[in-house]
Amino acid sequence: MKMAKVLVCVFIAISLLACTTSAERKREKDKAAQAASAYTQLGIEYLREGNYELSLAKLQKAIEIDPDFSLAHGSIAILYEKVGDDKLAEKHYRKALSLNPDDAGGHNNYGQFLCFQGRYEDASKEFMMAAKNPFYATPAVPITNAGLCAKRIPDMPLAEQYFRQALQLDEQFAPALLQMALFKFEQGAFLSARAYLQRFQEVAKHSPDSLWLAVRTEFALKDESTSGYYAVMLKENFPKSEQAMLLLEWENERRSGR
Protein backbone atom coordinates (compact mmCIF):
# COMPACT_ATOMS: atom_id res chain seq x y z
CA MET A 1 0.00 0.00 0.00
CA LYS A 2 2.82 2.36 0.90
CA MET A 3 4.54 1.53 -2.39
CA ALA A 4 1.34 2.33 -4.26
CA LYS A 5 1.14 5.72 -2.52
CA VAL A 6 4.77 6.39 -3.38
CA LEU A 7 4.12 5.50 -7.02
CA VAL A 8 1.07 7.76 -7.11
CA CYS A 9 3.07 10.60 -5.61
CA VAL A 10 5.88 10.07 -8.11
CA PHE A 11 3.38 10.01 -10.97
CA ILE A 12 1.78 13.23 -9.77
CA ALA A 13 5.19 14.86 -9.42
CA ILE A 14 6.19 13.80 -12.92
CA SER A 15 2.87 15.07 -14.30
CA LEU A 16 3.29 18.42 -12.58
CA LEU A 17 6.83 18.67 -13.88
CA ALA A 18 5.64 17.85 -17.39
CA CYS A 19 2.89 20.46 -17.14
CA THR A 20 5.35 23.05 -15.85
CA THR A 21 7.83 22.25 -18.62
CA SER A 22 5.06 22.38 -21.25
CA ALA A 23 3.82 25.72 -19.91
CA GLU A 24 7.34 27.13 -19.93
CA ARG A 25 7.85 25.98 -23.52
CA LYS A 26 4.58 27.63 -24.53
CA ARG A 27 5.59 30.88 -22.81
CA GLU A 28 8.95 30.80 -24.56
CA LYS A 29 7.30 30.09 -27.89
CA ASP A 30 4.80 32.92 -27.41
CA LYS A 31 7.60 35.26 -26.39
CA ALA A 32 9.60 34.34 -29.49
CA ALA A 33 6.54 34.83 -31.71
CA GLN A 34 5.95 38.29 -30.26
CA ALA A 35 9.58 39.26 -30.75
CA ALA A 36 9.58 37.95 -34.33
CA SER A 37 6.39 39.89 -35.05
CA ALA A 38 7.89 43.08 -33.61
CA TYR A 39 11.06 42.74 -35.67
CA THR A 40 8.99 41.97 -38.78
CA GLN A 41 6.87 45.09 -38.34
CA LEU A 42 10.01 47.17 -37.97
CA GLY A 43 11.43 45.55 -41.09
CA ILE A 44 8.25 46.33 -43.02
CA GLU A 45 8.34 49.97 -41.92
CA TYR A 46 11.96 50.35 -42.97
CA LEU A 47 11.11 48.66 -46.27
CA ARG A 48 8.34 51.18 -46.90
CA GLU A 49 10.76 54.01 -46.16
CA GLY A 50 13.29 52.59 -48.62
CA ASN A 51 15.85 51.83 -45.91
CA TYR A 52 16.70 48.39 -47.23
CA GLU A 53 19.75 47.81 -45.05
CA LEU A 54 17.88 48.26 -41.77
CA SER A 55 14.88 46.40 -43.15
CA LEU A 56 17.06 43.42 -44.00
CA ALA A 57 18.63 43.38 -40.54
CA LYS A 58 15.25 43.41 -38.77
CA LEU A 59 13.69 40.77 -41.01
CA GLN A 60 16.70 38.48 -40.71
CA LYS A 61 16.48 38.82 -36.92
CA ALA A 62 12.78 37.92 -37.04
CA ILE A 63 13.52 34.75 -39.02
CA GLU A 64 16.40 33.89 -36.70
CA ILE A 65 14.04 34.12 -33.70
CA ASP A 66 11.16 32.26 -35.39
CA PRO A 67 12.12 30.42 -38.60
CA ASP A 68 8.46 29.49 -39.16
CA PHE A 69 7.04 33.02 -39.14
CA SER A 70 5.51 33.27 -42.62
CA LEU A 71 5.06 37.07 -42.62
CA ALA A 72 8.79 37.56 -42.06
CA HIS A 73 9.59 35.30 -45.02
CA GLY A 74 7.03 37.03 -47.24
CA SER A 75 8.36 40.46 -46.29
CA ILE A 76 12.01 39.61 -46.82
CA ALA A 77 11.05 38.10 -50.18
CA ILE A 78 9.68 41.49 -51.26
CA LEU A 79 12.89 43.14 -50.04
CA TYR A 80 15.11 40.73 -51.96
CA GLU A 81 12.98 41.29 -55.07
CA LYS A 82 13.43 45.05 -54.74
CA VAL A 83 17.23 44.77 -54.50
CA GLY A 84 17.36 42.37 -57.45
CA ASP A 85 18.20 39.11 -55.66
CA ASP A 86 15.62 36.98 -57.46
CA LYS A 87 16.97 33.66 -56.20
CA LEU A 88 16.54 34.58 -52.53
CA ALA A 89 13.26 36.33 -53.25
CA GLU A 90 11.76 33.18 -54.73
CA LYS A 91 13.15 31.04 -51.92
CA HIS A 92 11.40 33.13 -49.29
CA TYR A 93 8.16 33.55 -51.27
CA ARG A 94 7.90 29.79 -51.50
CA LYS A 95 8.83 29.33 -47.85
CA ALA A 96 6.20 31.84 -46.74
CA LEU A 97 3.48 30.08 -48.75
CA SER A 98 4.54 26.66 -47.53
CA LEU A 99 4.06 27.91 -43.97
CA ASN A 100 0.78 29.69 -44.76
CA PRO A 101 -0.75 28.33 -47.99
CA ASP A 102 -3.99 30.26 -47.39
CA ASP A 103 -2.26 33.65 -47.48
CA ALA A 104 -4.03 35.33 -50.41
CA GLY A 105 -1.83 38.41 -50.21
CA GLY A 106 1.24 36.20 -50.34
CA HIS A 107 -0.02 34.45 -53.48
CA ASN A 108 -0.70 37.85 -55.06
CA ASN A 109 2.82 39.08 -54.24
CA TYR A 110 4.41 35.89 -55.53
CA GLY A 111 2.30 36.16 -58.68
CA GLN A 112 3.65 39.65 -59.34
CA PHE A 113 7.19 38.39 -58.84
CA LEU A 114 6.63 35.53 -61.31
CA CYS A 115 5.07 37.90 -63.84
CA PHE A 116 8.14 40.15 -63.81
CA GLN A 117 10.23 37.01 -64.30
CA GLY A 118 8.26 36.30 -67.48
CA ARG A 119 6.66 33.19 -65.98
CA TYR A 120 3.17 34.23 -66.99
CA GLU A 121 1.34 30.92 -66.61
CA ASP A 122 2.72 30.37 -63.11
CA ALA A 123 1.89 33.97 -62.22
CA SER A 124 -1.70 33.54 -63.37
CA LYS A 125 -2.11 30.48 -61.13
CA GLU A 126 -0.92 32.46 -58.11
CA PHE A 127 -3.27 35.36 -58.89
CA MET A 128 -6.21 32.98 -59.23
CA MET A 129 -5.36 31.26 -55.94
CA ALA A 130 -5.44 34.66 -54.27
CA ALA A 131 -8.70 35.70 -55.93
CA LYS A 132 -10.50 32.45 -55.07
CA ASN A 133 -9.76 32.72 -51.37
CA PRO A 134 -13.21 33.37 -49.84
CA PHE A 135 -11.68 35.32 -46.96
CA TYR A 136 -9.72 37.73 -49.18
CA ALA A 137 -11.39 41.13 -48.96
CA THR A 138 -10.09 42.53 -52.28
CA PRO A 139 -10.14 39.81 -54.99
CA ALA A 140 -10.23 42.55 -57.65
CA VAL A 141 -6.56 43.24 -56.84
CA PRO A 142 -5.08 39.90 -58.02
CA ILE A 143 -7.54 39.76 -60.95
CA THR A 144 -6.34 43.19 -62.11
CA ASN A 145 -2.74 42.10 -61.63
CA ALA A 146 -3.49 39.08 -63.80
CA GLY A 147 -4.71 41.51 -66.45
CA LEU A 148 -1.59 43.64 -66.20
CA CYS A 149 0.48 40.48 -66.49
CA ALA A 150 -1.47 39.39 -69.58
CA LYS A 151 -0.60 42.77 -71.16
CA ARG A 152 3.07 41.89 -70.78
CA ILE A 153 2.70 38.68 -72.82
CA PRO A 154 1.07 40.53 -74.71
CA ASP A 155 -2.44 39.04 -74.80
CA MET A 156 -4.77 42.02 -74.95
CA PRO A 157 -8.09 40.11 -75.19
CA LEU A 158 -7.16 38.10 -72.10
CA ALA A 159 -6.08 41.25 -70.28
CA GLU A 160 -9.37 42.97 -71.05
CA GLN A 161 -11.23 39.88 -69.85
CA TYR A 162 -9.44 40.08 -66.51
CA PHE A 163 -10.12 43.81 -66.11
CA ARG A 164 -13.81 43.28 -66.81
CA GLN A 165 -13.86 40.44 -64.30
CA ALA A 166 -12.23 42.69 -61.70
CA LEU A 167 -14.94 45.31 -62.27
CA GLN A 168 -17.63 42.67 -61.88
CA LEU A 169 -16.19 41.99 -58.44
CA ASP A 170 -15.79 45.68 -57.61
CA GLU A 171 -17.26 48.19 -60.04
CA GLN A 172 -15.37 51.01 -58.30
CA PHE A 173 -11.91 49.47 -58.45
CA ALA A 174 -9.85 52.37 -59.78
CA PRO A 175 -6.88 50.48 -61.36
CA ALA A 176 -9.24 48.33 -63.45
CA LEU A 177 -11.28 51.38 -64.48
CA LEU A 178 -8.14 53.14 -65.66
CA GLN A 179 -6.99 50.09 -67.60
CA MET A 180 -10.36 49.81 -69.32
CA ALA A 181 -10.22 53.52 -70.21
CA LEU A 182 -6.81 52.93 -71.78
CA PHE A 183 -8.10 49.91 -73.70
CA LYS A 184 -11.00 51.88 -75.10
CA PHE A 185 -8.72 54.77 -76.08
CA GLU A 186 -6.36 52.41 -77.91
CA GLN A 187 -9.34 50.86 -79.69
CA GLY A 188 -10.51 54.29 -80.81
CA ALA A 189 -13.66 54.11 -78.67
CA PHE A 190 -13.08 57.56 -77.20
CA LEU A 191 -16.54 58.06 -75.70
CA SER A 192 -16.17 54.79 -73.79
CA ALA A 193 -12.69 55.86 -72.70
CA ARG A 194 -14.15 59.11 -71.36
CA ALA A 195 -16.88 57.20 -69.52
CA TYR A 196 -14.36 54.94 -67.78
CA LEU A 197 -12.22 57.97 -66.90
CA GLN A 198 -15.24 59.69 -65.39
CA ARG A 199 -15.93 56.62 -63.28
CA PHE A 200 -12.26 56.58 -62.28
CA GLN A 201 -12.42 60.23 -61.15
CA GLU A 202 -15.39 59.46 -58.92
CA VAL A 203 -13.41 56.98 -56.81
CA ALA A 204 -9.75 58.02 -57.07
CA LYS A 205 -7.46 61.01 -57.33
CA HIS A 206 -5.90 61.71 -60.70
CA SER A 207 -2.46 60.25 -61.38
CA PRO A 208 0.02 61.19 -64.12
CA ASP A 209 -1.28 58.23 -66.15
CA SER A 210 -4.94 59.16 -65.83
CA LEU A 211 -4.33 62.84 -66.63
CA TRP A 212 -2.21 62.05 -69.68
CA LEU A 213 -4.91 59.70 -70.92
CA ALA A 214 -7.60 62.31 -70.22
CA VAL A 215 -5.66 64.94 -72.22
CA ARG A 216 -5.51 62.69 -75.28
CA THR A 217 -9.06 61.37 -74.92
CA GLU A 218 -10.64 64.83 -74.78
CA PHE A 219 -8.46 66.01 -77.66
CA ALA A 220 -9.59 63.02 -79.74
CA LEU A 221 -13.19 63.99 -78.92
CA LYS A 222 -12.39 67.53 -80.17
CA ASP A 223 -12.91 69.08 -76.73
CA GLU A 224 -9.69 71.08 -76.67
CA SER A 225 -10.82 73.18 -73.71
CA THR A 226 -11.20 70.15 -71.43
CA SER A 227 -8.05 68.62 -72.88
CA GLY A 228 -6.18 71.80 -72.01
CA TYR A 229 -7.63 71.76 -68.49
CA TYR A 230 -6.23 68.27 -67.89
CA ALA A 231 -2.92 69.32 -69.44
CA VAL A 232 -2.60 72.17 -66.92
CA MET A 233 -3.41 69.77 -64.07
CA LEU A 234 -0.72 67.37 -65.25
CA LYS A 235 1.92 70.10 -65.51
CA GLU A 236 1.07 71.68 -62.17
CA ASN A 237 0.59 68.54 -60.08
CA PHE A 238 3.21 66.24 -61.64
CA PRO A 239 5.73 68.54 -63.37
CA LYS A 240 8.63 66.07 -63.22
CA SER A 241 6.67 62.99 -64.28
CA GLU A 242 7.37 61.07 -67.47
CA GLN A 243 3.80 61.84 -68.57
CA ALA A 244 4.42 65.59 -68.22
CA MET A 245 7.48 65.22 -70.46
CA LEU A 246 5.40 63.32 -73.02
CA LEU A 247 2.79 66.07 -72.87
CA LEU A 248 5.39 68.75 -73.62
CA GLU A 249 6.70 66.75 -76.58
CA TRP A 250 3.15 66.23 -77.85
CA GLU A 251 2.35 69.95 -77.55
CA ASN A 252 5.57 70.90 -79.36
CA GLU A 253 4.76 68.50 -82.19
CA ARG A 254 1.30 70.03 -82.54
CA ARG A 255 2.74 73.56 -82.64
CA SER A 256 5.24 72.59 -85.31
CA GLY A 257 2.48 71.01 -87.37
CA ARG A 258 3.88 67.50 -87.29
pLDDT at 24: 72
Print the domain residue range for 180: 176-258
Q: What pLDDT does 16 receive?
A: 60
Neighbour count for residue 93 (Cβ, 10 Å): 26
The confidence score (pLDDT) of residue 117 equals 97
Look at residue 3 in the predicted model and tell me its pLDDT: 52
pLDDT for the residue 12? 63
Here the CATH number for the domain that contains residue 189 is: 1.25.40.10
For position 4, what pLDDT does the model report? Answer: 54
Chunked mean pLDDT (size 10), the chain, 258 residues: 54 62 72 92 97 98 96 98 98 98 97 98 98 96 98 97 98 98 97 98 98 98 98 98 97 82
Q: Is 193 part of a structural domain of the chain? A: yes
CA distance 197 to 191: 10
* Separation CA 105–CA 116 (nearest Å): 17
In a domain, 256, yes or no: yes
Cα separation of 62 and 65, whole Å? 5
Of 231, 233, 223, nearest to 250 (Cα)?
231
- For residue 11, tell me if it sits in a domain: no
Domain count, the chain: 1
Residue-level pLDDT at 5: 55
**212 within a domain of the structure (yes/no):** yes
Residue 205 domain-assigned (yes or no): yes
Give the DSSP per-residue string, 193-209. Answer: HHHHHHHHHHHS---HH
Q: What is the DSSP letter of 132?
A: T
pLDDT value at residue 31:
84
What is the model's pLDDT at position 175?
98
Q: What is the pLDDT of residue 254?
A: 87
| 188 within some domain | yes
- Tell whether 185 is covered by a domain: yes
Interior angle at CA 65, CA 62 and CA 69, nearest 5? 60
- Residue 73 forms part of a structural domain: no
